[in-house]
Amino acid sequence: MTTLIFSIAGFIAVWAINSAIANSPDRDDRAARVFVPVMLGLASLYLWEGLVDGLGVSPVILPAPSAIAATFAASTDMLWQDFVQTVLKGALTGYVMGCGAAFLVAVLIDRSSFLTRGLLPIGNFVAALPIVGIAPILVSWFGFDWHSKAAVVVVMVFFPVLVNTVQGLRETDAMQRDLMRTYAAGYLQTLLKLRLPAAMPFIFNGLKIASTLALIGAIVAEYFGSPTRGMGFRISTGVGSLSIDLVWAEIVVAAIVGTLLYGSVSWIEKAVTFWHPSQRR
């Protein structure tokens, strides 16, 4: 009971502190912008612990953060193995192959406005489809191991990156293209010096979307067949055997990996598109 009371009090206190900071003139400080959400996160975790403890929630329904942390610490070997299988072998390989292929195809079809106009609406449509559904088919083609997972990821990331790259390449305005004509610049020169750099904000938008899709694809694909390791495998079997704390430990890994992946792409984006108004805030 005491944990519950303290955690509720703590949450209210943190909210009050956050409000004070948000309305103070220091709110745009780097430190403030990190402190506020982090405090909310910690207060929420504490509240979770308090609710589970105070309301006597069964660990099968919702384990307490402390229990999850304990299981996490006890299973690092297995979690690492799953990470290598799902993320490094499945998701990352697929991500690199899929984004690379999409980029190449976009540059190739850029030459023909006919192909671009035909492919763009189709690409937009396919990007909206539940592509995860092809996972079982790809497993039947490529086998149980990580290759089929990488294949699913390739298909999932291909279209968003393709569509964004094509749109980015179209973005250059008439005046810039005229300037290149006054220099009698060739197609390749115009592509490399003007259109690709100008397309970078769009390309990175696609790459960020792709990074979240890659992890989803790799995990879902494992629900359809996997050697006895992998995050998706662990989650579906864990749910079946009601080892919910293990499932949550895997979710924590997934959350960390997902955030790191997205964060890395954003970080590279900041470096490459430093000049864009949205980055110069």
> Closest Cα to residue 158, out of 188, 134, 181?
134
* 40-44, long-range: CB < 8 A, 24+ apart: 40/14, 40/15, 42/14, 43/7, 43/10, 43/11, 43/13, 43/14, 43/15, 44/11
Tell whether residue 259 is a contact of another protein (CB under 8 A): yes
Q: Please count the residues of this chain forming the interface with another protein, following the rule CB under 8 A.
A: 85
The phi and psi torsions of 224 (rounded to 5 degrees) equal -100, 10
Binding flags for another protein, 135-174, as an x/- string (CB under 8 A): -xx-xxx---------------------------------
d(CA 204, CA 225): 32
Q: Which residues are within 8 A (CB) of 221 and not within 5 positions of it... i.e. 6 or more apart?
A: 90, 132, 135, 138, 139, 148, 149, 152, 153, 232
Q: Which of 9, 42, 251, 268 binds another protein (CB under 8 A)?
A: 251
Task: Indicate the residue among 107 and 200 with the shorter CB distance to another protein.
Answer: 200
Minimum gap (Å) between residue 73 Cβ and another protein: 19
CB atoms within 10 A of CB 224: 20
128 scored as a contact of another protein (CB under 8 A): yes
Which residue from 73, 88, 104, 242 is in contact with another protein, where contact means CB under 8 A?
242
The torsion angles phi and psi of 241, rounded to 5 degrees, stand at -95, 15
203 binds another protein (CB under 8 A): no
Shortest approach of another protein to residue 2 CB, angstroms? 26
Q: Which is nearer to another protein, 2 or 175 (CB)?
A: 175
Task: Rank residues 204 and 224 by Cβ distance to another protein and give the closer one.
Answer: 224
Residues 49-88 that bind another protein (CB under 8 A): 58, 60-62
Q: Does 264 bind another protein (CB under 8 A)?
A: no
Nearer to another protein, 147 or 276 (CB): 276
Q: Which two tokens stand for residue 73?
A: 């610490």
Binding status of residue 219 toward another protein by CB under 8 A: yes
Nearer to another protein, 3 or 214 (CB): 214
Half-sphere exposure of 135 (CA within 13 A, CB side): 22
